[in-house]
Amino acid sequence: MFAKLSLLSLLFSSAALGASNQTLSYGNIDKSATPEARALLKYIQLQYGSHYISGQQDIDSWNWVEKNIGVAPAILGSDFTYYSPSAVAHGGKSHAVEDVIQHAGRNGINALVWHWYAPTCLLDTAKEPWYKGFYTEATCFNVSEAVNDHGNGTNYKLLLRDIDAIAAQIKRLDQAKVPILFRPLHEPEGGWFWWGAQGPAPFKKLWDILYDRITRYHNLHNMVWVCNTADPAWYPGNDKCDIATIDHYPAVGDHGVAADQYKKLQTLTNNERVLAMAEVGPIPDPDKQASENVNWAYWMVWSGDFIEDGKQNPNQFLHKVYNDTRVVALNWEGA
């Protein structure tokens, strides 16, 4: 009925890692990547061009798909957001790490985004309450000033404090031998998040600070690093990205495949990176992906109404997608 997710076999079979006739193969940008992180990237490369890996953001929406469609998405999307110190200070709580570990136990793939609450200066007004604190309009935090004070300023140190807080959660996953698709600082060119509010240069500097702090200072290497832009001015570079992605929210009922964006990313990455849809509203039709040769490696439907309202992704269409032999989902019998 659907393609079997076989990540587990890759973790323990060096023969499987070398047995593919894939056309795109490269190592992790982190040369110290764990065996699990290496296997995760290799697995996605193995599927690239022949299968489309299904994903669903948020455990409640993931459960909805399993219950109502009868098939479980391969990728679970979770968010580090409420581990941000500014969120914790306002009472934020999270079970994301527990959800991730549980999904890994199902032989699933985990993708983590971080809606990073600004380290300080949340407006916390009636119009811009604290829980919108990752939006540019809800904070007076200036990322350009923070990353350019040469490590001596208060705001730079607050950036490190926040990264350290997320590193502590990544360490829990590392200790459980769980690899993740890690997509920090997403949608930067939009400017609606504070990390993209002052242009590409501060964003790229923050990317480097975050990568260095997590991999070198905290010695954590269980991540496949996912970039999230098709804009050349904002792309960190192939040497800093394992997978290049876009977020795509077309009109209701539009199950097109964003061929123009795919071609832009191919050019941007010189056809040297796996390309994927890190967030979608309507799912791209696998028939159109195949006929137009637009091989997004995976897609991740956003949560709530995007999957459950019957309009963005009607149930009949979801059944079609999840029963397509080209779509990778969890195979409970084989897990």
State the amino acid at position 163 in one-letter form: I
> What tokens does 92 get?
């934020």
In angstroms, how far is CA 23 from the centroid of its own chain? 23
Q: What pLDDT score was predicted for residue 151? A: 75
Domains of the chain, with CATH numbers?
3-330 (3.20.20.80)
- Taking residues 153-162, report their average pLDDT: 97
Closest-CA residue to 29 (of 240, 271, 311): 240
| Active site annotation includes 333 | no
Q: Per the residue annotation, which of 66, 128, 189, 279 is the catalytic one?
A: 279
Confidence of residue 54 (pLDDT cuts 50, 70, 90): very high
Confidence of residue 152 (pLDDT cuts 50, 70, 90): confident
Question: Residue 37 class from Cβ within 10 Å (0-12 exposed, 13-18 middle, 19+ buried)?
Answer: buried
Q: Per the residue annotation, which of 66, 98, 187, 308 is the catalytic one?
A: 187
Kindly provide the residue ranges of all beta strands, DSSP E only, lying in 116-268, ordered along the sequence: 180-183, 223-228, 243-248
3-state secondary structure (DSSP) of residue 279: strand
- Average predicted confidence (pLDDT) for the chain: 93
Q: What pLDDT score was predicted for residue 16? A: 43
CA torsion angle 287 4 176 15 (round to 10): -110
Q: What pLDDT score was predicted for residue 205? A: 98
- Taking residues 255-270, report their average pLDDT: 98
In angstroms, how far is CA 108 from the centroid of its own chain? 14
Q: Which residue has the tokens 């941000």?
A: 84
| Active site annotation includes 137 | no
Beta-bridged to residue 110, according to DSSP, are: 76
The conformation of residue 168, written as its DSSP 8-state character, comes to H
- Taking residues 78-105, report their average pLDDT: 98
DSSP-derived pairing of the beta strands 109-113 and 3-4: unpaired
Q: What pLDDT score was predicted for residue 20? A: 42
Question: Residue 306 class from Cβ within 10 Å (0-12 exposed, 13-18 middle, 19+ buried)?
Answer: buried
